[in-house]
C-alpha cells in the first residue's frame, strides 16, 4: 500500500513537471543575494520560468556580495519557524543545515530527471544530506580570474601580469600613467576573495588544498604562506583610497569605464561586463589570476529547499528544482550570470569566449588535479572556520605594516575554529 502511494505520488509529480502547471498561483519564496545588474538579470530568468509554470515568485533578495547578510536573515527566519521555500546556500553549509533537520527532500525530482547521471559526482555529493538530495546546483563560477581593461594597459605601456613577480612592475606603470592598478571593494569577503587567488598563484593548487582546504598547520605556517601574505599586503598600494566598503560591482564598473586596469574577482563580474554591452577579447579580457593558469577555484551556487507545511509549496519546490536544471534555464541564466552550466551535457558554442575558456579549464583542471574549492565562497570549510580565517585576512589587509609573521600565526589559529 505504502509502495503504491509512493508510486502514485511520483507519477503525479512526473505529470506536474511535464505540464508545469500549478492549479492556482502558489507563492514560492526564494532567498538570494543576486542584486547587482548582471545578477538580477540572471535571477529574473528563474522568476519568469516559474511564472510560466503558474507559480508566483516571491523575491527575497538580501543585498550584500558574498551572501553574509543573506545568511544572517535566513537564520532568523528559520529560527522563527518560517523558512522560505528555497535559499541560496552553498558547500559544507548544506550539511550544517541538514543536521538541523529542516531541509526538504528533492529525491522525487532527482530520480525522475536522473540527476545522478546528469551532474558531476563531486557536485551531486555536495547537494545531498544523508544520501538524499536537499539542494539543486545552479552553476559553476570560477573565482581565480583577473579582469582586464586592455585599453588602460595599452595607454600605460604595461603588460598583463602572468605571475605575481610580474605584477608590481605592471602596477607601477599603470599608476604612473594616472590609472588605478587594481579596482577593489574593501569588504571582508572581497579581501578574502583576492587573498585566495594570491595563495593559489603563489603556492599552486596542491599547496592551496593543503593550506585552505585541509587546513594543514605546517602549510599554514610555511614560507609559501608567508610569501602569499607579502604579495597580498603589497596590493594595498595598488588600490585607491575610496575602496573601503565599495561593492564589488562598483569595482567592476571602474574596470569597465577605464578608471582602473584590473580586478581580481569571480566571474559574476563578467555579468556586469555583459550587462554593459562589453565584448570579451575586445573591450575586456578574462585571464587567470597571476600564477594560477591551469588551476580552477570553483564556486557552485545552489538552492536549498526548506520543509514546508503546505503541499502545493512542497510540489512547487520540485518544479523549481526541475526548472533550475533544465537546459533552457542553464543557458539563459549562466549567460547573464557569468558562470558556466553545471550540467555536463550542454553545448557551449553559443556562450562567450570567457565562458568557453572557463568550461575548458574546468575539465582540464579536473583532470590534472588542479580543481580546488573556493574558501572565500563557502565551498571549502565550515562557515565558522572560514569566517574566523576571513577576519584574520581582512584585518591584515586593512592594517598597513601589519607584521606578516603575526598574520601567519593568527591564520593557523583561526583554522582550528569549528
Binding stretches for ligand BGC (CB under 6 A): 33, 39, 65-67, 141, 268, 299, 301, 377
Q: Which of 231, 389 has the CB closer to ligand BGC? A: 389
Reading the block at residue 155, the C-alpha cell is 595607454
Q: Which residue is nearest to ligand BGC (CB)?
A: 268
For residue 286, the Cα-to-chain-centroid distance in whole angstroms is 17
Task: Please name every residue paired with 340 in a beta bridge, in sequence order, or none if there are none.
Answer: 140
- Separation between Cα atoms, residue 48 and residue 53, nearest integer Å: 9
Cβ burial, residue 314 (10 Å; 0-12/13-18/19+) = middle
C-alpha cell at 116: 545522478
Q: How far is the CB of 145 from ligand BGC (least distance, A)?
A: 13
Least distance (Å) from ligand BGC to the CB of residue 36? 7
By beta-carbon proximity to ligand BGC, the closer residue of 210 and 275 is 275
Please, what is the minimum distance in Å from the beta carbon of residue 20 to ligand BGC?
A: 26
Q: Backbone dihedral region of 57: left (phi > 0), alpha (psi from -120 to 50 degrees) or beta?
A: beta
The CB-of-336 to ligand BGC minimum distance in angstroms stands at 11
Q: Say whether 104 sits in a helix, a strand or coil.
A: coil
- Between 66 and 181, name the residue whose CB sits nearer to ligand BGC: 66
> Is 152 or 359 the residue whose CB approaches ligand BGC more closely?
359
Nearer to ligand BGC, 299 or 308 (CB): 299
The gap between the terminal CA atoms of the chain, to the nearest Å, is 45
Beta-bridged to residue 373, according to DSSP, are 298
Angle at 289 between CA 286 and CA 293, to 5 degrees: 90
Torsion sign over Cα 157, 161, 164, 166: negative
Choice between 65 and 373, CB closer to ligand BGC: 65
> Rounded to the nearest whole angstrom, what is the least distance from the CB of residue 29 to ligand BGC in the complex?
18
- Measured CA distances, 223 to 31, 83, 191, 260, 313 (Å): 42, 46, 21, 32, 53
Cβ 154 vs Cβ 174: under 8 Å:
no
Task: List, in sequence order, the alpha helices (H) in 235-337.
Answer: 248-256, 268-275, 311-324, 327-337
- For residue 362, the minimal CB distance to ligand BGC (Å) is 16
Residue 238 or residue 301: which is nearer to ligand BGC going by CB?
Answer: 301
Nearer to ligand BGC, 170 or 183 (CB): 183
Residue 152 or 264 with smaller CB distance to ligand BGC: 264
Least Cβ distance, residue 385 to ligand BGC (angstroms)? 17
Q: CA torsion sign, 37 to 40 to 44 to 46?
A: positive
Residue 337: partners with Cβ closer than 8 Å, 6 or more residues away: 34, 38, 39, 42, 139, 141, 268, 271
Choose between 113 and 272: whose C-beta lies nearer to ligand BGC. Answer: 272
Least separation in angstroms between residue 337's CB and ligand BGC is 7
* DSSP H/E element including 101: none
Shortest distance, position 33 Cβ to ligand BGC, whole Å: 5
Smallest separation (angstroms) from ligand BGC to the CB of 307 = 24
Provide the minimum distance between the beta carbon of 269 and ligand BGC in the complex, in angstroms, as a whole number.
9
Tell me if residue 137 falls in helix, strand or coil. Answer: strand
Q: Which residue, 65 or 108, is less far from ligand BGC as judged by CB?
A: 65
Residues 6+ positions from 264 with CB-CB distance below 8 Å: 145, 146, 147, 182, 184, 193, 194, 197, 289
3 state SS of 76: helix
Amino acid at each position: 500500500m505504502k509502495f503504491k502511494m509512493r508510486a502514485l505520488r511520483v507519477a503525479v509529480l512526473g505529470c506536474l513537471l511535464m505540464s508545469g502547471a500549478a492549479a492556482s498561483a502558489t507563492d514560492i519564496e526564494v532567498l538570494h543575494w543576486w542584486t547587482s545588474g548582471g545578477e538580477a538579470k540572471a535571477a529574473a530568468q528563474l522568476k519568469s520560468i516559474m511564472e510560466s509554470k503558474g507559480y508566483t515568485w516571491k523575491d527575497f533578495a538580501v543585498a550584500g556580495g558574498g551572501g553574509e547578510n543573506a545568511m544572517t536573515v535566513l537564520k532568523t527566519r528559520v529560527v522563527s519557524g518560517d523558512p522560505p521555500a528555497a535559499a541560496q546556500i552553498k558547500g559544507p553549509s548544506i550539511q550544517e543545515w541538514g543536521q538541523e533537520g529542516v531541509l526538504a527532500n528533492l529525491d522525487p525530482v532527482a530520480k525522475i530527471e536522473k540527476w545522478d547521471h546528469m551532474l558531476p559526482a563531486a557536485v551531486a555529493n555536495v547537494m545531498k544530506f544523508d544520501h538524499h538530495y536537499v539542494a539543486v546546483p545552479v552553476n559553476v563560477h570560477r573565482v581565480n580570474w583577473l579582469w582586464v581593461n586592455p585599453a588602460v594597459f595599452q595607454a600605460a605601456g604595461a603588460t598583463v601580469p602572468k605571475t605575481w613577480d610580474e605584477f608590481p612592475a605592471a602596477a607601477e606603470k599603470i599608476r604612473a600613467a594616472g590609472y588605478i592598478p587594481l579596482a577593489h571593494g574593501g569588504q571582508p569577503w572581497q579581501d578574502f576573495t583576492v587573498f585566495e587567488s594570491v595563495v593559489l598563484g603563489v603556492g599552486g593548487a596542491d599547496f592551496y588544498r593543503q593550506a585552505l582546504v585541509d587546513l594543514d598547520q605546517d602549510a599554514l605556517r610555511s614560507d609559501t604562506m608567508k610569501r602569499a601574505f607579502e604579495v597580498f599586503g603589497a596590493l594595498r598600494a595598488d588600490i585607491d583610497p575610496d575602496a573601503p566598503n565599495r561593492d564589488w560591482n562598483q569595482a567592476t564598473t571602474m574596470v569597465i569605464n577605464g578608471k582602473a586596469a584590473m580586478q581580481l574577482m569571480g566571474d559574476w563580474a563578467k555579468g556586469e561586463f555583459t550587462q554593459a554591452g562589453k565584448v570579451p577579447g575586445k573591450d575586456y579580457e578574462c585571464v587567470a589570476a597571476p600564477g594560477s593558469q591551469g588551476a580552477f577555484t570553483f564556486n557552485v551556487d545552489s538552492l536549498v529547499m526548506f520543509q514546508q507545511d503546505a503541499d502545493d509549496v512542497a510540489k512547487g519546490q520540485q518544479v523549481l528544482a526541475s526548472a533550475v536544471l533544465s537546459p533552457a534555464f542553464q543557458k539563459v541564466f549562466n549567460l547573464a550570470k557569468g558562470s558556466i552550466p553545471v550540467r555536463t551535457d550542454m553545448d557551449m558554442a553559443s556562450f562567450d569566449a570567457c565562458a568557453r575558456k572557463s568550461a575548458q579549464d574546468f575539465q582540464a583542471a579536473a583532470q590534472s588535479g588542479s580543481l580546488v574549492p573556493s574558501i572565500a565562497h563557502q565551498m571549502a570549510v565550515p562557515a565558522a572556520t572560514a569566517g574566523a580565517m576571513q577576519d584574520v585576512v581582512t584585518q591584515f589587509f586593512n592594517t598597513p605594516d601589519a607584521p606578516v609573521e603575526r598574520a601567519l600565526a593568527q591564520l593557523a589559529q583561526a583554522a582550528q575554529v569549528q
